[in-house]
């Protein structure tokens, strides 16, 4: 079932009011928080793409200075908020009656400081760019009394699997520090074109290019890109209808936007169903055997001791649609 059908929204007729210029002093709950996330919480109901426009144009200032979306706040910082249309009268979308049941289905792990979800394909991790309700907005809507809920990282909308959400500021800081130091293990399963014959380390710097036709693409740029490393290990090989390829495990050493997709394509093995970096004819063949989305699944995440408590190893089973495709390709014993 489509995620949109499982997660209906409640909303009232749109209405808004124009706020004036405001100055907000950062308190303890905002200490160390990214400015884009701080604005999403402070300007409730304002779309994420609108928030990023405010930052790009310099309409939001921290201590009178322009800042980028990844700027981290400190206690006592003065945040200038420009005039903006704020929803009133409950016009912001809220989770519908099936959302709570969906949440129960997708929780893989939870304790006092950490929540790990098995994010369904088709669900954005946050609202914005035409998406009114993402995973984090759903959680905040279902848990209005929760003092803190923040994404620790992101997954593409089509990617399914393990998603980390911090329930405490201290846990979020440790998660981010561990990610920067490469101490968190992130393992993905992906289906690729052409047989991948041996384990491969791809160390190719990545750079986000200028927007093209409304979307921003990532490309390999060994001079100006950011250091990016992925380890690919073939699991099994398949052939069908004149095409062939491999099921591959991809382990992230760094965590750049679209890293697995771009590295795999650059190695001559584009991901099945990838409309941005993939092979159109290859994708069309797999659509004929009912692959309806990109084959990329965040299968496992490993947190070392001390990041969010004791050592944790959490796995997300392969979704039914992807498992069914593997069966059609003769990979019935593929790991999940």
Return the active site residues: 156
**Entry field: residues in the chain:** 336
86 bridge partner residues: 17
Cα distance between residue 31 and residue 35, in whole Å: 10
In order of 99, 266, 272, the CA distances from 243 in angstroms are 40, 19, 12
Return the closest-CA partner of residue 71 out of 84, 45, 52: 52
Task: List the strands of the sheet with 78-81, edge to edge.
Answer: 22-25, 78-81, 61-62, 65-66
Contacts of 117 (CB under 8 A, 6+ apart): 103, 106, 107, 108, 135, 162, 163, 165
Distance CA 237, CA 246 (A): 4
Strands 22-25 and 78-81: antiparallel
Write the CB contacts of 46 (distance below 8 Å, at least 6 apart in sequence): 39, 40, 84, 85, 86, 87
What's the CA gap between 278 and 262, in Å, rounded?
Answer: 9
């Amino acid at each position: 079932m489509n995620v949109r059908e499982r997660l209906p929204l409640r909303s009232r007729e749109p209405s808004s009011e124009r706020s004036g210029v405001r100055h907000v002093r950062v308190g303890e709950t905002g200490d160390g928080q990214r400015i884009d996330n701080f604005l999403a919480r402070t300007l409730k109901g304002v779309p994420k793409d609108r928030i990023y426009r405010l930052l790009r144009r310099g309409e939001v200032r921290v201590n009178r200075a322009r800042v980028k979306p990844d700027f981290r706040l400190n206690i006592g910082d003065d945040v200038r908020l420009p005039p903006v249309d704020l929803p009133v009268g409950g016009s912001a979308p809220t989770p519908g009656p099936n959302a709570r049941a969906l949440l129960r289905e997708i929780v893989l792990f939870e304790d006092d400081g950490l929540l790990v979800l098995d994010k369904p394909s088709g669900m954005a991790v946050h609202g914005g760019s035409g998406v009114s309700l993402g995973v984090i907005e759903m959680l905040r809507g279902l848990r209005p009394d929760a003092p803190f809920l923040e994404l620790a990282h992101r997954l593409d909308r089509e990617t399914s699997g393990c998603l980390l959400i911090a329930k405490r500021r201290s846990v979020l800081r440790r998660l981010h520090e561990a990610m920067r130091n490469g101490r968190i293990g992130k393992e993905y399963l992906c289906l690729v074109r052409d047989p991948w014959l041996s384990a491969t380390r791809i160390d190719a710097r990545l750079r986000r290019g200028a927007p093209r036709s409304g979307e921003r693409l990532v490309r390999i740029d060994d001079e100006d890109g950011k250091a990016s490393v992925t380890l690919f290990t073939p699991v099994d090989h398949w052939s069908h209808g004149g095409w062939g390829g491999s099921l591959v495990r991809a382990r992230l050493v760094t965590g750049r936007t679209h890293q697995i997709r771009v590295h795999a394509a650059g190695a001559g093995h584009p991901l099945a169903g990838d409309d941005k970096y993939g092979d159109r004819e290859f994708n069309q063949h797999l659509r004929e055997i009912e692959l309806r989305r990109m084959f990329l699944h965040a299968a496992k995440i490993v947190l070392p001791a001390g990041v969010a408590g004791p050592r944790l190893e959490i796995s997300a089973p392969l979704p039914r649609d992807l498992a069914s495709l593997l069966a059609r390709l003769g990979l019935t014993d593929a790991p999940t």
